[in-house]
Amino acid sequence: MKYLTKKWYELCQRTGLHSGMRVHKGADIYDEALYLRLYKRKEKEFVKMQREVYDVDPRFMLEQEGCRLVPLDKFERGEEINEEDMVVYHMPLEERERIQKWIEDYNTRSPFDEKKCREEFRLHQEALKKETANKLPHDLSQQITDMRVFSLGYCTGEVLNQLKRLSKENEKKVNSVLNEYSKAQQAEPIPQIIRERFGFHDCVVTELTIGTNVVMCLDTRGGFTSFNRITFTVSEIIKQDEHIVGSTWIYDELYSTENGYEAHMLLGAGEGMPELILRCNDIIIEKSEGFS
């Protein structure tokens, strides 16, 4: 990757450091009783939220059937919408069957497990504490008296001000790189059909076959495309990290070369971020039967 690198991605994770943080007058001292009290408060909020989500009856999704929809373009332009502009929504059979399956699962679900939920909160807080410590500059983390309290969302006013300043600086750097990337990509003489289709954010790599051609198959259920098979013809691998298969597509860069294209792909796999870079003569993007 030339622009949307791992380092840039990590910087993206440091643009909202102040988000959700609140000033607490006791955050400047180490107080076990305070920590336990705040922990219980946050744990209670978490359990309540999870219980509410658990109790959402999926039958409400069937109410979409027969709804009258208005044209988005007219709505956005503020134009008058007439009766003939209205469209009645008829739910596809596949969607209805999927909702019916969710309803069946809802009807047969086991009782809400509060103990399990509390354990999930504990594990989440442990992971958040480590993640938070890694995100903050050393001099700032040294100003935090109790990282456990900080991970629960509480800090001193001075620390919060520093978090806001740091987040703003990081956001400025992130946007600067993003603008450079956008200009560089727009300048590339990429055919429109490839430019439109070569976007697989949040899709999962299910198969990678390397030969004269490199073929990648994707599970697109979490993404924003229905194209699930990419063939890079007459390919040359420039860089291939481990754990490509099973990882999630995050960002990509595409460049024109004398003989075809150079494709850069940054993926996410657990705590790692594998990268795949290759050159090829052509890129064929299609829908393949047997894949999501």
pLDDT tens digit sequence for 185-223: 999 999 999 999 999 999 999 999 999 999 999 999 888
Contacts of 80 (CB under 8 A, 6+ apart): 74
Mean pLDDT rounded to a whole number for the chain: 92
CA distance 124 to 92: 38
Q: Is the pLDDT of residue 163 over 80?
A: yes
Mean per-residue pLDDT for 101-112?
Answer: 93
* pLDDT at residue number 85: 72
Instruction: Kindly report the pTM of this predicted structure.
Output: 0.76
